[in-house]
Structure 1
């Protein structure tokens, strides 16, 4: 019999000590990444910031802003080597739970139309397209639209 150790994963609130790890991941997965300052400002503003760890290593993170009974997912990311393995789905489900626990009735997010993997994930988790935000994201040839999506919590 072979013993296979299952990796230990955990979700926990982001701390200032996580900013370096998060800031190392962000530019490896986005052409226009958030800065360390963006994450620090989110922590200081009291946004719901979480990290996803695998065997003690930060492999993902999410930042959510609460406004009255709405949760707005500002950033949700999984490091490239761990994408496509269910960690993003798990992190999104967790953030939806966090939103519910803080009284949110709905969650909203923006996503690039070119990010087909994210669109499929969001749709599979109950998000629906609500609107298009024209020229929302920077892009190599100018600006890219954003799909505004929402889900009832």
Structure 2
């Protein structure tokens, strides 16, 4: 597995990549971004990369930089490849790119029920700084769930 992580290839996301990334977005989220939203988060204050292994795209991240703060807007790994370290590799890439761009502090939010993502973020040095009560529509379609806001100083 470690060998495949070493062979992971990152490339900047361009508008032409949205079509092939939307199936990953749709597979990872109960309420995914639309193509229009995804496309609007490419370029400008946004930075993003996809991760591939042997020509297969496994996942991506989208970040936003405003002044010296970067926010992880979206991060996805194909469900069949989750739990293999690719999410950590993408998060590490996000942190590295945000640092290169001059970020001093990182932010993200995560569904309260997404324990595996929370553990990844905690293990990467993020701490909970707040909650947005009832922020996300629930995956079941009934009710809402909290968003946990997390941050990390660089």
Q: Which residue of 1 aligns with 2:144?
A: 143
Where does structure 1 differ by over 3 angstroms across 4 or more consecutive aligned residues?
none
Point out the more displaced range, 43-52 or 85-94.
43-52
**2:118 alignment partner in structure 1:** 119
Alignment of 1:1-153 (within 5 A): 7=4, 8-139=7-138, 140-153=141-154
TM-fit CA distance, 1:102: 0.6
- Report the alpha carbon displacement of residue 67 of structure 1 after superposing the two structures with TM: 0.8
Measured in 2, the distance between the counterparts of 1:93 and 1:18 equals 21
TM-score by length of 1: 0.92
**Rg larger for:** 1
Separation of aligned partners in 1, 2:17 and 2:71: 22
- The corresponding residue for 1:3 is none
SS at match of 1:43: coil
Q: Which moved more, 1:7-16 or 1:75-84?
A: 7-16
Partner of 1:130, secondary structure, is: strand
- Post-superposition shift, 1:37? 1.2
**Quick check: 40-49 or 118-127, which moved more?**
40-49
May I ask how many residue pairs the two structures share in their alignment? Answer: 148
What whole-Å deviation, never above 9, does each CA across 1:32-69 have from its counterpart, x for those lacking one? 11111111000154410110111112110111010111
Work out the CA distance in 2 between the residues paired with 1:143 and 1:44. Answer: 31
Measured in 2, the distance between the counterparts of 1:137 and 1:57 equals 30
Gaps of 5+ in 2: none
